[in-house]
Amino acid sequence: DQQVKQNSPSLSVQEGRISILNCDYTNSMFDYFLWYKKYPAEGPTFLISISSIKDKNEDGRFTVFLNKSAKHLSLHIVPSQPGDSAVYFCAASDLPGGKLIFGQGTELSVKP
Amino acid sequence: DARVTQTPRHKVTEMGQEVTMRCQPILGHNTVFWYRQTMMQGLELLAYFRNRAPLDDSGMPKDRFSAEMPDATLATLKIQPSEPRDSAVYFCASGLLSSGNTIYFGEGSWLTVV
């Protein structure tokens, strides 16, 4: 039973354009949401997070949007750069400091 | 430069052999996680500890997997006996409860069981 789902295994975007990565969840108790980026042969690295009291959090080129009623979050990268090419995982937790449940990942390819 | 350290980085073993993976969490972190990455499941939580006590190991096949924290600087994940379906990348991650939900991953242990 996949509580966090990323339905797009891959996404290809042109350099300079917007990348939108989507994530859906089923557990209404989730209150904390994070995005991680993973390069090949490396561990995932933290990118950005949001708590359920907000609907948007921005950090430079990265913005995460949360729609609690739809149980949906998205990561926007503007403008996309070739160095952003990686696998992106969304994750959710129901407690501060609690276990993170990850989605399957979306592989982003940004073409020059 | 604080980071999570995992050993071995790569391991090839024969079916039926015991495999032990080790993790040194970031100094001062009180929560340690073991995840497994597979193509189908993404990042799958196997077990996690807080202050060395196991909090949840429901994602771990109990008949062959075991996870322990002998001390605050070492976490171990053992598979005995190993099977080809255990082939995956195993990640350890650590975090500090007071710092929220952000956790920091090691580079992973690539396991191949033949």
- Interchain contact, B45 vs A101, CB within 8 Å: yes
Q: Which residues of B touch A102 (CB under 8 A)?
A: 35, 42-45
Using the Cβ of A100 and the Cβ atoms of chain B, whether some distance falls under 8 Å is answered with: yes
Q: How far apart are CA B51 and CA B54, in angstroms?
A: 8
Q: Answer yes or no: do A44 and B107 touch at CB < 8 A.
A: no
Helix (H, G, I), strand (E, B) or coil at B85: helix
- List pLDDT tens digits, range B44-96: 999 999 999 999 998 898 899 999 999 999 999 999 999 999 999 999 999 98
Q: Are strands B19-24 and B109-113 parallel, antiparallel or unpaired?
A: unpaired
Q: Closest chain A residue to B101 measured between Cα atoms?
A: A97
- Rounded Cα–Cα distance for residues A75 and A50 (Å): 11
pLDDT in tens, A47-62: 999 999 999 999 999 9
Asked if B69 and B77 count as a contact pair (C-beta separation under 8 A), the reply is no
Q: Is B69 on the interface with A (CB under 8 A)?
A: no
